[in-house]
Amino acid sequence: MGCGRSKWGVDLILVLGLVLLGMVEDSMQVSRNHPMRGIVDKVNEEGAPYVGLVMAYPTEEMALQSSGFFLPDSDIPWIDLAGRRFNIGSINGVKVIYVMTGEKTTNAALTVQALLDNFDVQGIVHYGTAGSTNDSLSFGDVSVMNSVAFTSSWKWKEFFKSEKGQLPTLTFGAFNFPEKGENLLAKIEFTPVQLYSKGKQMEEIFWLPMDSNWLNIAAQLQNLTLQQCVNETYCLPSRPKVVYGLKGSTADIFLDNAAYREFLFKQFNVSTVDEESGAIVLTCLTNEVPCIVFRGVSDLAGGNGRSLSSASLSSLASVNALTVALEFIPFIGRKNFDSCY
């Protein structure tokens, strides 16, 4: 193994993101002499604890803004920190701070860390869009994940070696076309990520779990009515549904490939793919803060069956994922309120 290489062949972007988290943790927290320090303190004193609501894309934020459910704080409606706008307000009487992270794992992790460093947040609710790798999930359906894995964390194997690791491998020769055979790219072995948390030894983990208490609460949302019509002239053939307890996959890759879609489902029983959820959950686990993820299906990740523009389907998926998040937030808000008495 070459000088300076880590034991695991973790993808470069994820490594950089985790390193940045360690290096900038102090700088992401507003210093005492920062001009925003007093405003941040006032926000925490007057409204805490907040529910952190996190999304990655403008379409997802637009769904929240157009819903009318988020009511900005009349005194301090937003604060700009670390290049992001943290919006302060409430949803159905529950104090909420929402922020759009931007795309991919590094942006997602850094934004959530900044949120947790600066504000008194009781937990993170993440909603957004995803590709479906499970043929039983279709456009507009919402997955309530029980766990998520980084599926672009790899150890690239040598061509002439075939040691079997603890996790599945992807052999490139098996996908040669028109016939299977050898391939100089050999194969990749999927690897766990390293979880660091306060007072605990580093743990190598593949499946990152959601908070069990929040998952139990979310189980009550499976019969929600979701939006079926994309516009006034077209509705989906069947009403979208909330599906509980599925596995998700995160990678800095937009998946649009039928063969890899099938591989992920068969090898890992993964039902959705996205570019941020794993980073958000890992950051929450590190900070020992509860987290839950709601992802609406906007595409089939390379599978068959697109009849509308991707923008229309993304909008529908965003609205449906938001609908589940909006129903969930009052449950944890009431629980926190009740605990004060």
| Residue 273 in domain | yes
pLDDT per residue as tens digits for the range 155-183: 777 776 666 777 778 787 788 878 888 87
- CA distances, 308 to each of 21, 61, 158, 234, 273 (Å): 39, 21, 43, 9, 20
Based on the fold, state whether residues 283 and 167 are members of the same structural domain: no
Same domain, 78 and 186: no
Q: What's the structural domain count of the chain? A: 2
In this structure, is residue 290 part of a structural domain?
yes
Instruction: Give the pLDDT score at 26.
Output: 43
Over residues 212-237, the mean pLDDT reads 93
Q: Crossing angle, helix 12-28 and helix 277-287, to 10 degrees? A: 50
Is 5 among the domain residues? no
From residue 47, give the alpha-carbon distance in Å to each of 81, 84, 187, 283.
18, 20, 52, 23
Do 246 and 124 share a structural domain?
yes
Shared domain for 121 and 182, answered yes or no, is: no
Start-to-end C-alpha separation, the chain:
58
Q: Is the residue at 20 inside a domain?
A: no
For the chain, what is the mean pLDDT? 86
Q: Dihedrals φ, ψ of 62, to 5°? A: -60, -35
Using a pLDDT cut of 90, give the percent of the chain over it: 65
Do 179 and 296 lie in one domain? The reply is: no
Is 312 in contact with 142 (CB distance < 8 Å)?
no
pLDDT recorded at residue 337: 40
Question: Which of the four pLDDT bands, split at 50, 70 and 90, describes residue 189?
Answer: confident
Q: pLDDT: is 173 or 72 the higher one?
A: 72
Its domain, for residue 167, covers: 154-191
Residue 13 lies in a domain: no
At 324 the pLDDT is: 98
> What pLDDT is stored for residue 199 in this prediction?
85
Same domain, 214 and 315: yes
Structure tokens at 275: 């570019």
Position 133 confidence tier, pLDDT thresholds 50, 70, 90: very high
- Domain assignment of residue 256, yes or no: yes
Residues 62 and 134 in one domain: yes
Q: Which of 53-62, 128-137, 151-160, 225-234 is least confident?
A: 151-160
Which whole number is the average pLDDT over 134-161? 89
94-100/50-55 β-pairing: parallel
| Mean pLDDT across 261-266 | 94
Residue 213 has pLDDT above 60, yes or no: yes
Does residue 18 lie in a domain region? no
Paired tokens of 20: 């940045």
Question: Is 9 contained in some domain?
Answer: no
- 243 with 320, same domain: the answer is yes
pLDDT above 80 (res 118): yes
Residue 332 or residue 29, greater confidence: 332
Q: 241 and 122 share a domain?
A: yes
Do 160 and 296 belong to one domain? no
Residues 140 and 241 in one domain: yes
Q: How confident is the model at residue 8 (pLDDT cuts 50, 70, 90)?
A: very low
pLDDT tens-digit series, residues 97-116? 999 999 999 999 999 999 99
pLDDT at 106: 96
Domain CATH for 260: 3.40.50.1580
Residue 28 has a pLDDT of: 58
Residue scoring higher pLDDT (311 or 126): 126
Give yes or no: residues 130 and 221 share one domain. yes
pLDDT the model gives residue 173: 79
Of the pLDDT bands very low, low, confident and very high (cuts 50, 70, 90), residue 335 is low
Specify the pLDDT at position 198. 86
More confident site: 139 or 188:
139
Q: What is the pLDDT of residue 286?
A: 96
